[in-house]
Amino acid sequence: MPTLKINRDKTIAVFDIKEEIIKPLNQGYLREAVARLDGLIDKVIEAKINQKLKCKEARLLIKLVRESRGSGLMPIIAYKLHIISKADKERIEKFKSFRNTILHNALGEIELGAKRNVKDINEYIRQEVKRGIELLKRIANK
């Protein structure tokens, strides 16, 4: 079921968590689920920032940050604009670190399992994705 949020300024955000994240996760495509969740978090944060910034120049600046692969800056910007809490910013940064290990390291799962002393790395990744989904929902519903 798609998540639909109608904001005060009548903008609408639609994404289907089950189709976009849960389905690949359940099919065993763990890296795909992590990547898709990361993309949705980025899109929701950008939408929230654009919703708050009405100025065309500010929106252009946000677009430039996104296009320059500066998505790591988006949670900081959202926090400074009081869109997300400090705790949410830290959760996003923790998820991004997790994502980097999984997606940008050929042995990411092994490295992560060793660091966290995890017996079942696939279950650990599933749990991290579920925590990320809850974070995404919380940000989207603010």
Tens-digit pLDDT profile for residues 75-131: 998 999 999 999 999 999 999 988 988 888 767 777 777 777 777 888 888 999 999
- Number of structural domains the chain divides into: 1
Mean pLDDT taken over the chain: 83
Q: Where are the beta strands (DSSP E) in 53-120?
A: none
pLDDT, one tens digit per residue, over 33-82 is 999 999 899 888 888 888 888 788 887 888 788 777 766 788 998 999 99
Q: What is the pLDDT of residue 6?
A: 46
Distance between CA 24 and CA 74 in Å, rounded?
26
Please give the pLDDT value at position 135.
93
What is the identity of the amino acid at 101?
T
| Tokens standing for residue 108 | 């990411």
CA angle, residues 33, 37, 38, in degrees to nearest 5: 120
Is residue 10 over pLDDT 80? no
User: CA–CA separation, 127 vs 138, rounded Å?
Assistant: 17
When pLDDT is cut at 50, 70 and 90, the band that residue 14 belongs to is: low
Cβ neighbours of residue 132 closer than 8 Å, sequence gap 6 or more:
34, 37, 38, 41, 95
**Predicted local confidence at residue 134, as pLDDT:** 94
Domain residues for the domain of 68 are 3-140
Handedness of CA 131, 4, 36, 38 (dihedral sign): negative
Number of CB atoms found within 10 A of residue 115's CB? 9
Q: Six-digit token pair at 109? A: 């799962």
Q: Which residue has the tokens 């002393």?
A: 117
Q: Residue 138's closest CA among 81, 85, 73, 64?
A: 85
Which stretches does DSSP call E strand in the chain? 3-6, 12-15
Q: Residue 11: is its pLDDT beyond 60?
A: no
